[in-house]
Amino acid sequence: MKITYPSTERVDQTDNYHGTSIADPYRWLEEDTAPAVEDWVKTQNQLTQAYLSDIPYRDKIASRLSELMDYARLSSPFRAGDYYFFYKNDGLQNQPVIYYQKGLTGEPQVFIDPNTYSEGGTTAITLLSFSKDNKYVAYSIAEAGLDWQEIHFMEIASRKKLPDSLSWVKFSGASWYKDGIFYSRYPEPLQASKKSGKNKNHQVYYHTLGTDQAADPIIYEDLDHPDFNHYTYATEDKAYLVLNATPGTDGFSTYYKQLGSDSPFVQLFDGYSNKSYIIDHREGHFWVLTDIDAPKYRLVRIDITQPEKEHWQEILPETEHLLQTVNTGGGKLFANYLKDATDRFIQMDYDGSNQMEIQLPGLGSASGFSGKKEDKILFYAFTSFLYPNTIFKYEIESGVSTPFFTADLKFDPTDYEERQVFYPSKDGTSIPMFLVHKKGLKLDASHPTYLYAYGGFNISLTPSFSSTRLILLENDGVFAMPNLRGGGEYGEDWHQAGMLDKKQNVFDDFIAAAEYLIDEGYTTSQRLAIAGGSNGGLLVGACMTQRPALFGMAFPAVGVLDMLRFHLFTIGRAWIPEYGSSADPEQFKTLYAYSPLHNLEEGVSYPATMITTADHDDRVVPAHSFKFAAQLQYAHRGEQPVLIRIETDAGHGAGKPISKIIGEHADRWAFLFHNAAVKPRY
């Protein structure tokens, strides 16, 4: 398909970074509400949709996706008083519906149906927390994928919505105490900068039910550090309010305040180079999960009257495997270890005794094992690449698990196989990678392959089931997911090996994964697609500019692509601990060396590329993708298409309606098959 790209105006904009002049000809695309930018978005979408509509099997892929996704999905239930709550999607509902039932045998009833809040199903609703007497619940409403939320309240028994409404909330929980909640918010932004302006002065408030938000007192603020974020949560016994203060997405300092008194916040952990989470409080002691002197984490008990490190009591020492989380429920602790990116759970007493490994259904990902002290039954979810998300009921005393909800999906996992391989990166580091494909796959280099990764922010990628992925697998494709450095799979050392001036390790790990797949006969460069979202979008953008001939297709989604200006928008400055900042002379050199936008070269043939973003993304603002797309179309000298798909009424990804998910995945698979010269069986 011959493509004529629309002309995008280039302006005379040059910035000086520590003596280096750098042109930014598409600066005007940063103003996403400007009429000229809206016209550009419309023109680009028309081009992309015209291209995709000419692919003959695109609609058949969308139809097949609707069939595959049309099955009931349930979250793990959680108890509040006499009621159990859970989220359920009957199949193709745009948003999961929140249900509640009395006891485990009661009849489920609709509690809140987000699908009735907007015509296109773009409103997402999340239950945040319940009052101590379980009379009220606080819940958040997010529109069109925005990070901005409103907090509302409901009386549980009557389902009566209370008049209270809390606005300009972002990156906040809701911790009940007495007749209200602690929450975090920003000052009201100017309307024009609501989606892209810097978020500053994150403050903690207390709201009393029945009062106006304007009367909410400030519980904590730090005017000397307007870029810091502040997160609070109350201990289960409501004895203390815990506050984490962080300059970014990495380390944080921890404070606590005795509730029911006028005592100030007391610092328990200072500095921002470590992460310490207060798990629980009992009789003057905190149980803390920390990476202090333990990059794979350990669990310690701290006497509040003697908080110095020499007085800590070690409950769970650091081991060779990452201690990912420790949950509480039923008077027990549940330690979650990650071994080569698969989950293990151990139940124990608070002193670390009576340890018992919980028998999960297999190797995969599990979540849950959390509840109140008086609970005797907990729930957890288990999934893997070939194991649809299944809910289990767990009896604490006996340690017995029984299936509670099993997905009825028209899919036979015995047709496929999943396995883990290890391959060497550029510097010899061994990198794990999961591979999923049909059983008996011939290694004849003929298979369309989708290489997906993230590699950053201490985030671990573990096995999970996706019905949208079956489109690839049932057409003899290969799904590959490596666990790159920068992630959290092997603890803080693994994370730090892929951040700041070591970020190139992440790209080298990803490139080595591609080379492994080609060398082992799974695919060829033409049929190899690379994909990732957010920080993973940066990964794709960096790798396609460094090794353009290695990949046939590229899918950078909601990516961080302008590494010199990312910190100037919304919450971007919080990523400085991970990436560095162009304001620092040495960090600028590192960022400039790999910034995808600044490493596109004129005259180069780049892979067939479909950039995806959304007009309401207020986390990684769409300007990143807009500028990258404009520069890519300007520089590219090949026959492969380089397009941008801009979703409307959607954000960074959370809360996206099923209808939009189906449309986006249908377009992605159609683009992949077409450019890989593979005809799907539809």
Residues classed as catalytic = 534, 652
Residue type for position 327: N
Q: Which residues of 635-666 are buried (b: 16+ CB within 10 A; e: fewer)?
A: ebeeebbbbbbbbebbbbbebbbbebbbebbb
Residue type for position 367: S
Q: What are the angstrom distances between the C-alpha of 602 and each of 121, 599, 637, 644, 662?
A: 42, 10, 7, 19, 35
Rounded to 10°, the helix 535-546/623-635 angle is 10
**Separation of alpha carbons 417 and 269, rounded Å:** 46
Give which of 92, 93, 88, 90 is closest to 67, Cα–Cα.
92
Annotate 8-54 with DSSP letters as a single string: ------EEEETTEEEE-TTGGGG-TTSHHHHHHHHHHHHHHHHHHHT
Name the token pair of 130.
């319940």
Q: Is the dihedral of CA 405, 408, 411, 414 positive or negative?
A: positive
Q: What are the angstrom distances between the C-alpha of 245 and each of 221, 499, 661?
A: 10, 21, 35
Contact of 550 with 571, CB cutoff 8 Å: no
- Please work out, in degrees rounded to the nearest 5, the angle formed at the alpha carbon of residue 533 by the alpha carbons of 273 and 620: 70
Q: What are the angstrom distances between the C-alpha of 493 and each of 240, 487, 489, 560?
A: 32, 10, 10, 23
Element housing 535 (H / E): helix 535-546
